[in-house]
């Protein structure tokens, strides 16, 4: 079997053979792969010109729907990937993390379209007034980078590693070139074949390089983004290449790190938290055979509980059956390759120069349903470092397999210092029922971690665990962990956009952003905006309402209806020492009355009002004041139909500007309405 590259719209072999690929369980050869002879300059240009142009022509809403369609397609054929995933040494649960966890990233990022405008680019934050009379303002837009995202991924998650990255750049409107690890690229290739065949992504949006990929970043420019997941040594080497530095190419490094799990002093044997800690650590040692960048490498426990932890952990590990994942009862598969076996063994030997082996054996362990000499099997290994402030090997060397070290501490301050000796981690955990202890740990250790899990009995049933990065939270860490950030929900998408400040007249900025800016033209809507369908509404169209003079009776009646009898509204004798000159109208009365002024009550295209954002009461309104409303189309966001029977509609955000007889604004708010489309086909 030749594992091919997908570049410039076609599948192709490289020249010769760069690497032979093997089944991690049986040792049998699966095939070969090569990227020799690939013209990487042309590959990058193809992505920029073909894939980039297609993605940039789509809005965030369209890209989100594209990702959702892809996720639904892949989940419908997921069993194809499970079958081949077993060859990487993965159990069904390991494969579930990789396959369905990866597809979950597509779903999660697709849902983020609701946080973006119905535009190909993003309008960032609020406008900044830059002049006295309001004729000159500033704003920020963020546009897709006109380059490619080059993802160089690790061997441990051949599907998740690809999907968690491309979900973000595709949502941003940037094409990707994926370079998976050559050792497990056969599984990535299978999924890319299915993605390409589905034709859900535009051509050029995704290219795949399966061989060693030497030269893949030789032709990057300032529009490109490079991400790397793997060893810190290799990542730093790539990050320092001249073409990266000279072109100021964004380089996101996510490196393996010496992550820690800390047992709180309150979590004594017999407590729910102690049992949770043992279960969590055992899982982190054995899931994916310890081949996770987030796995627990340092088990930091109170000095008095070292023996208890060691005994309890050993008992749980004794139940871990190693072997062929297809065999009933097997709970841990193999490392990804024989090469990994040699590397992990070498690092364990180095760790044992200062640490004592308390569980496992490098040679003597049983394997079920497979030949240990042919497969890439490895025993769980637990060591004890009895003096972790002086014996520093355990803070410097990571064995990327089912290997971890117990380390004692005397106080929470010491526990934090031990965590920090890892010089930056992707994640640390603390298991405690004491929220004060949790707060102390988190606030002191956060500077050295990209993520912290606080685990106790109250959240255990729904906790996703120490080793599970979540699509809507940032994944990365400082120092040794690489100093990068991936995923993070909306934050991750913004990494692939260029933020640019724009300055000009509010009308010009309105035209550019397609969001109404205060000071822009407000042509009077004709007919009333509530009589117009989604397609007919124009940003800036405004209804200028009739006016109403506020009375004491208004205030009393609203207090009776709402039950709000706050003294400033109802007791004129209590206003000494306040900012109010007399009893003041309720802010919510002002907004309620504004609605009465701007609403056109007859049945029309407006289906419902479903929200209120950014409400502000700016100036007190006293009896005798006369208020009116400028009701302006602020922004339009398209929505897809959920079914053929669904009503075709969009979301319209209206600016509610309530002003008084002096012309000054007394209240501002944004209301969200659902408006029927004229064209009910989509």
Residues known to be catalytic: 254, 293
CA distance 595 to 545: 10
C-alpha 606, offset from chain centre: 34
Query: 3-class SS at 193?
Result: helix
Quick one: tokens of 595?
């609605």
Return the ∠ at Cα 563 (arms to 557 and 569), rounded to 5°.
Answer: 65
Separation of alpha carbons 175 and 501, rounded Å: 24
- The residue assigned the tokens 């002024």 is 597
* Alpha-carbon distance values, 29 to 185, 281, 332 (Å): 14, 34, 22
Residue 564, φ and ψ in degrees, nearest 5: -90, 100
- 565 burial (CB, 10 Å; 0-12 / 13-18 / 19+) is exposed
Report cis status (omega within 30 of 0) of the bond before 306. no
How far CA 141 is from CA of 108, 171, 519, in Å, comes to 24, 16, 19
- DSSP 3-state assignment of 286? helix
Cβ neighbours around 485 below 10 Å, total: 16
Task: Give yes or no for a contact between 202 and 128, defined as CB atoms under 8 angstroms apart.
Answer: no
Three-state DSSP state, 66? helix
Output Rg (C-alpha) for the chain, integer angstroms: 30
> Which of these, 172, 118, 116, lies nearest to 148 by C-alpha position?
172
Q: Which one, of 344, 354, 360, 191, lies nearest residue 256 by Cα?
A: 344
List of residues 6+ apart from 70 with CB closer than 8 A: 106, 195, 198, 200, 201
Helix axes 160-172, 92-111, angle to 10 degrees: 10
User: DSSP for 213-225?
Assistant: -TTTTTT--TT-E
Q: Phi and psi (nearest 5°) for 363? A: -120, -40
Q: How far is CA 607 from CA 17, 537, 545, 629, 649, in A?
A: 62, 15, 21, 22, 9
Q: Measured between alpha carbons, how far is 311 from 277 in angstroms, rounded to an integer?
A: 13
Q: Which residues pair with 617 in a beta bridge?
A: 667
Q: Does residue 13 contact residue 165 with C-beta atoms inside 8 Å?
A: no
Alpha-carbon distances, residue 352 vs 462, 476, 634 (angstroms): 37, 29, 65
Q: How far apart are CA 27 and CA 396, in angstroms?
A: 32
Instruction: Tell me if 121 sits within 8 A of 143, measured CB to CB.
Output: yes
Identify whether the C-beta of residue 597 lies closer than 8 Å to the C-beta of residue 674.
no
The size of the chain, in residues, is 682
User: Distance from first CA to last CA of the chain, Å, rounded?
Assistant: 44
State how far the Cα of 99 lies from the Cα of 94, in Å rounded to an integer. 9
Place of tokens 């049986």: 26
Separation of alpha carbons 295 and 478, rounded Å: 16
């Amino acid at each position: 079997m030749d594992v091919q590259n997908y570049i410039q719209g076609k599948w192709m072999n490289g020249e010769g053979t760069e690497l032979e690929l093997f089944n991690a369980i049986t040792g049998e050869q699966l095939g070969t792969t090569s990227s020799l002879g690939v013209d990487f300059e042309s590959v990058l240009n193809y992505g920029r010109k073909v894939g980039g142009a297609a993605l940039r022509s789509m809005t965030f809403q369209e890209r989100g729907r594209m990702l959702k369609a892809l996720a639904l397609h892949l989940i419908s054929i997921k069993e194809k990937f499970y079958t081949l995933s077993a060859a990487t040494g993965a159990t069904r649960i390991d494969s579930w993390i990789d396959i369905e966890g990866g597809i979950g990233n597509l779903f999660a990022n697709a849902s983020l379209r609701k946080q973006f405008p119905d535009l190909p680019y993003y309008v960032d934050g609020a406008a900044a007034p830059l002049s006295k009379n309001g004729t000159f303002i500033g704003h920020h837009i963020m546009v897709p980078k006109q380059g490619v995202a080059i993802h160089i991924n690790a061997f441990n998650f051949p599907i998740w590693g690809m999907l968690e990255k491309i979900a973000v750049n595709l949502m941003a409107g940037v094409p990707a070139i994926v370079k998976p690890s050559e050792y497990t690229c056969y599984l990535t290739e299978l999924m890319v074949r299915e993605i390409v065949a589905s034709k859900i992504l535009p051509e050029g949006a995704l290219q795949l390089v399966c061989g060693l990929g030497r030269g893949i970043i030789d032709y990057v420019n300032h529009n490109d983004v490079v991400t790397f997941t793997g060893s810190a040594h290799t990542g730093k080497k790539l990050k320092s290449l001249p073409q990266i530095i000279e072109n100021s190419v964004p380089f996101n490094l996510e490196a393996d790190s010496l992550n820690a799990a800390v047992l709180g002093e309150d979590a004594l044997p017999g407590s729910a938290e102690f049992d949770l800690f043992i279960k969590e650590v055992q899982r982190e040692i054995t899931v994916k055979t310890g081949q996770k960048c987030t796995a627990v490498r340092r088990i930091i426990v109170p000095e008095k509980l070292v023996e208890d932890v060691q005994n309890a952990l050993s008992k749980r590990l004794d139940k871990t059956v190693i072997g062929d994942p297809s065999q009933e009862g097997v709970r841990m598969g193999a490392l990804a390759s024989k090469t990994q076996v040699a590397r992990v063994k070498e690092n364990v030997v180095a760790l044992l120069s200062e640490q004592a082996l308390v569980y496992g054996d490098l040679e003597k362990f049983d394997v079920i349903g497979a030949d240990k000499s042919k497969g890439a099997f490895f025993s769980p290994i637990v060591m004890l470092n009895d003096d972790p402030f002086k014996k520093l090997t355990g803070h410097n060397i990571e064995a990327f397999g089912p290997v971890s070290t117990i380390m004692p501490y005397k106080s929470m301050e010491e526990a934090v210092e031990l965590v920090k000796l890892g010089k930056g981690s992707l994640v640390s955990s603390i298991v405690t029922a004491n929220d004060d202890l949790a707060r102390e740990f988190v606030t002191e250790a956060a500077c050295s971690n990209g993520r912290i899990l606080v685990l106790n009995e109250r959240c255990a049933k729904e906790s996703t665990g120490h080793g599970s990065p979540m699509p809507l939270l940032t994944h990365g860490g400082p120092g040794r962990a690489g100093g990068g950030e991936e995923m993070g929900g909306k934050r991750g998408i913004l990494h692939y956009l260029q933020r640019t400040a724009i300055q000009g007249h509010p009308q010009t900025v309105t035209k550019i952003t397609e969001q109404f800016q205060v000071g822009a033209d407000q042509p009077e809507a004709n007919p009333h905006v509530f009589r117009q369908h989604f397609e007919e509404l124009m940003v800036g169209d405004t209804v200028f309402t009739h006016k109403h003079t506020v009375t004491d009776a208004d205030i009393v009646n609203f207090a009776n209806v709402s039950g709000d009898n706050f003294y400033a509204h109802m007791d004129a004798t209590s206003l000494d020492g306040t900012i109010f000159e007399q009893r003041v109208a309720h802010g919510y009365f002002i907004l309620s009355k504004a609605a009465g002024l701007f609403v056109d009550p007859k049945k029309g295209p407006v289906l419902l009002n479903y929200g209120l954002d950014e409400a502000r009461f700016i100036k007190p309104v006293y009896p005798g004041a006369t208020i009116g409303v400028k009701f302006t189309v602020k922004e339009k966001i398209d929505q897809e139909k959920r079914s053929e029977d669904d009503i075709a509609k969009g979301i319209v955000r209206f600016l509610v500007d309530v002003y008084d007889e002096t012309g000054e604004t007394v209240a501002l708010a944004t209301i969200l309405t659902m408006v029927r489309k004229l064209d009910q086909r989509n």
